[in-house]
């Protein structure tokens, strides 16, 4: 590196004197400070001098090479495009089954199941807490019978399915496996993902049932079961998405998500597994927010950090353990109810950052999602947005086309450094479970959320249609309206199921499940038997509630 010699102007100093100062005299800048949406200051110009200490062979390397900053595939999207996976589900299994067939016919290449809140919280549709929630935010799945309907006419051997389910992940996964088996699909060949990420529930989305430690047991049981029986299944999708939606900055999203990943690996190792046996099936899930370059840097830094952590901290030998694979969803929280068509543009830009960041799969939000669940038309337009990026924009022709940009590389380095600082703090607290028990990430996120809202109120951050270019007239868009009929149908169906099934077999299976929870038998085994007996999600979750109790958080404002 060159060092500045007294009396000799550096490039930066010369530039300031010769071109910048005269330009600033003619007209000042629009703001006194420029920051990302996360509040990170951004310099006026990035040059070679911004990258002091940066070594391209160490920090960048070729695509497909450790530490994978430029992507995990040597040929990027020239070989295979990302999976266009649109998250979807509402009402009854029949209604959602039709939407899936529509999305697949429109060129979607994978399914992604959105469950309703009772399912996510392990409650049956007729439970008192389910009142008003059945089929509202997603599809209601109460038992194997509903799962059979959901995938009626869709071959599980030929598609991959992602299921956004956390506390009851094992139960819904068991149902998926039994449906696959009924269809004649081989468990060793099918693939897909369960989110199964409880730590971010405690941190951000708050869909937890059991206390942290037994919740971690369910997850390591899935790791072990899949290593033996469903080797291509992604056992967990360690998620930053919800952390970001809850108000975290890009850096906090990155740091907390990867540190969650470290926690899962540590628990797996502590449960007696070899890292290379289960880590290759761990995947990640990030948000694509509105600050284009900050997001891009986040994805690149994530790959680099994970590669180092897996190789250096855990001693993984298998390259697949080093490679961070991730799904991305555009930022729901950035969508506005005002001037909803603007959301199409926001989503397109966010999706582009995810693609340039090398995502393996992508969900683009629909323009009407600040108002309701999407209509079929809005969901199709969201999918078309991805297809236009993939087929028309040309950004898929070269691998990591922004690699080597002074700005992008500097942001990537800073993201890495900031995340490692958070790692140190959390390690000092005794790990992520302990940090959560202390309320640390929850507080950090709540503070960031409030700071951002204040910045919007003060117009330091501008949102078109919300605090700038506001229109008095609300033009509105057609929205999907989910009535209460789904709840009635699901409750009736449950009544028939409970009457017609072999209730003795259900009881025995649930007793076995409780015994497994008290002991060390892998919980997936009794859960699959309970599923085959048509035990409901609520019954299976209640059996474990009896053994492990329920978690209650102390709210942090």
Partner 1 sequence: MSKIRVVIAKPGLDGHDRGAKVIARALRDAGMEVIYTGLRQTPLQIVSAAIQEDADVIGLSILSGAHNHICPEVMRLLKEKGLNDVLVVVGGIIPDLDVARLAEVGIDGVFRPGTPMQEIIEYISSHARSRTETV
Q: Which residues bind partner 1 (CB under 8 A)?
A: 117-118, 120-121, 123, 129-133, 136-137, 201, 205-208, 245-247, 333, 335-338, 370-372, 446, 449-450, 453, 456-457, 463, 465-467, 476, 479, 481-482, 484, 553-557
What lies within 8 Å, CB to CB, of 252 at 6+ separation is 243, 244, 422, 441, 444, 445, 448
Shortest distance (Å) from residue 555 CB to partner 1: 4
Whose Cβ is closer to partner 1: residue 26's or residue 481's?
481
Cβ nearer to partner 1, comparing 476 with 549: 476
Closer CB to partner 1, 123 or 281, in the complex: 123
Q: How far is the CB of 84 from partner 1 (least distance, A)?
A: 25
Nearer to partner 1, 89 or 280 (CB): 89
Residue 446 near residue 96 (C-beta atoms within 8 A): no
Min dist. Cβ of residue 506 to partner 1 (A) = 24
| CA angle (246, 295, 310) in 5-degree steps | 90
* Minimum gap (Å) between residue 44 Cβ and partner 1: 31
Q: Which two tokens stand for residue 23?
A: 């330009």
Q: Which is closer to partner 1, CB of 335 or CB of 379? A: 335
CA distances for 452 relative to 94, 449, 459, angstroms: 41, 5, 10
Based on C-alpha coordinates, what's the Rg of the chain?
24
CB of 385 to partner 1, least distance (A): 21
Three-state SS string over 408-431 comes to HHHHHHHHHHHHHHHHHHHHHHCC
Nearer of residues 342 and 387 to partner 1, judged by Cβ: 342
Nearest to 190 by CA among 177, 201, 199: 177
In degrees rounded to 5, what are phi and psi of residue 91? 65, -135
DSSP labels, 64-119: TSTT-TT-SSTTGGGT-PPEEEEEE--BSHHHHHHHHHHHHHTT--EEEEEBPHHH
Rounded Cα–Cα distance for residues 312 and 432 (Å): 19
Nearer to partner 1, 26 or 554 (CB): 554
Q: How far is the CB of 117 from partner 1 (least distance, A)?
A: 4
Minimum CB–partner distance for residue 439 and partner 1 (Å)? 13
């Amino acid at each position: 590196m060159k060092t500045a010699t007294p009396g000799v102007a550096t490039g930066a100093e010369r530039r300031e004197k010769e071109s910048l100062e005269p330009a600033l005299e003619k007209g000042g800048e629009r703001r006194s400070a420029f920051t990302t949406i996360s509040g990170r200051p951004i310099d006026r110009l990035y040059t070679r001098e911004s990258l002091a200490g940066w070594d391209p062979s160490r920090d960048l390397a070729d695509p497909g090479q450790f530490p994978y900053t430029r992507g995990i595939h040597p040929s990027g999207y020239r070989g295979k495009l990302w999976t266009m996976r649109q998250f979807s589900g509402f009402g009854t299994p029949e209604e959602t089954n039709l939407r899936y067939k529509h999305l697949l016919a429109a060129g979607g290449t994978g399914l992604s199941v959105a469950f309703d809140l009772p399912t996510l919280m392990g409650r049956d549709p007729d439970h008192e807490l389910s009142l008003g929630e059945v089929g509202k935010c997603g599809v209601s799945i109460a038992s194997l019978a509903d799962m059979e309907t959901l995938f009626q006419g869709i071959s599980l051997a030929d598609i991959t399915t992602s299921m956004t389910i956390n506390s009851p992940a094992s139960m819904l996964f068991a149902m998926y496996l039994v449906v696959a088996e009924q269809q004649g699909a081989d468990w060793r060949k099918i693939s897909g993902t369960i989110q199964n990420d409880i730590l971010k529930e405690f941190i951000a989305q708050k869909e937890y049932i059991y206390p942290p430690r037994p919740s971690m047991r369910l997850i390591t049981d899935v790791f072990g079961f899949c290593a033996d029986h469903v080797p291509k299944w992604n056992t967990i999708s360690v998620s930053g998405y919800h952390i970001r939606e809850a108000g975290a900055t890009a850096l906090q999203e990155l740091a907390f998500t990867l540190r969650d990943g470290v926690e899962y690996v540590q628990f797996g190792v502590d449960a007696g597994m070899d890292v290379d046996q289960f880590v290759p099936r761990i995947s990640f899930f990030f948000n694509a927010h509105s600050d284009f370059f900050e997001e891009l840097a986040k994805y690149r830094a994530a790959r680099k950090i994970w590669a180092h952590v897996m190789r250096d901290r855990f001693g993984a030998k298998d390259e697949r353990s080093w490679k961070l694979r991730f799904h991305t969803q555009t930022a729901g929280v950035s969508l506005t109810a005002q001037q909803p068509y603007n959301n199409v543009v926001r989503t397109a830009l966010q999706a582009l950052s995810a693609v340039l960041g090398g995502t393996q799969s992508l969900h683009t939000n629909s323009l009407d999602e600040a108002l309701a669940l999407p209509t079929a038309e809005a969901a199709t337009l969201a999918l078309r947005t991805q297809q236009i990026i993939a087929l028309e924009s040309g950004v898929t022709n070269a691998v990591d086309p922004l690699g080597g940009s002074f700005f992008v590389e500097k942001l990537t380095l800073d993201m890495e450094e900031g995340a490692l600082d958070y790692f140190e703090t959390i390690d000092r607290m005794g790990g992520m479970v302990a940090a959560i028990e202390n309320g640390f990430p929850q507080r950090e996120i709540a503070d960031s959320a409030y700071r951002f809202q204040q910045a919007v109120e003060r117009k330091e951050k501008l949102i078109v249609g919300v605090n700038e270019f506001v229109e008095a007239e609300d033009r509105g868009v057609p929205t999907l309206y989910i009535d209460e009929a789904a709840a009635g149908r699901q409750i009736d169906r449950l009544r028939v199921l409970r009457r017609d099934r072999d209730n003795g077999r259900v009881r025995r299976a649930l007793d076995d499940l409780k015994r497994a929870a008290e002991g060390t038998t892998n919980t997936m085994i009794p859960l699959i038997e309970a599923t085959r007996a048509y035990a409901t999600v609520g019954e299976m979750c209640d059996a474990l509630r009896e053994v492990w109790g329920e978690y209650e958080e102390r709210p942090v404002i």
